[in-house]
Amino acid sequence: MREQLLLVALVLAFLGALLLWWSARAREGMGLGSGETIALDNQELVSERLKLIGRPDRIVREDGGLIPEEGKPSAKRVYPGHRLQLGAYLLLMEEEFGERPPYGVVVIRDGERGRVENTEALREEVLAVAEKNSRAFGQNSTTRYA
């Protein structure tokens, strides 16, 4: 009886290790980072002050900060619109959580990860687009990134 319990425990330990290995491989294949998931496409970020709304696909705690991730599985590269979208998320997250994310990530085709740095130039560009949209569509309009 004791040998049977030991055998069952060994089989379960092996299956657990196999599941952990498979999970790590699947995350790599999808381009998901290794950070702790804080939100998964369920947190809409809204700023009346900035006139921005956005919903990142994933927010992770990684490299000592909060990082937005956005999936673009059919994209061959990170396009300017993707950079603006991540820039909006970076601004929204800073306002929502009180800490400035150092960068964001766009996950493109084949799980490749494109890093978008949180620079002053990007922040100014996002705010300029939001202001332009506000003038074009009325002072109470917000620019939605989702």
Convert the pLDDT of each residue in 20-53 to its tens digit: 544 445 444 445 566 777 766 778 999 988 889 9
Half-sphere exposure of 22 (CA within 13 A, CB side): 6
Residue with tokens 């202001």: 131
Q: What are phi and psi of 124, to 5 degrees?
A: -65, -40
> Residue ranges per domain, the chain?
1-30, 35-145
Predicted local confidence at residue 33, as pLDDT? 63
> Could you tell me the pTM of the whole model?
0.73
CA distance linking residue 140 with residue 114, whole number of Å: 33
Strand pairing of 103-107 and 113-117?
Answer: antiparallel
- pLDDT in the model for residue 21: 44
The pLDDT tens digits of the residues spanning 61-116 come to 988 899 999 999 999 999 999 999 999 999 999 999 999 999 999 999 988 999 99
Instruction: Note the CATH number of domain 35-145.
Output: 3.90.320.10
Q: Two tokens at 3? A: 């040998």
Mean pLDDT of the 128-146 span: 76
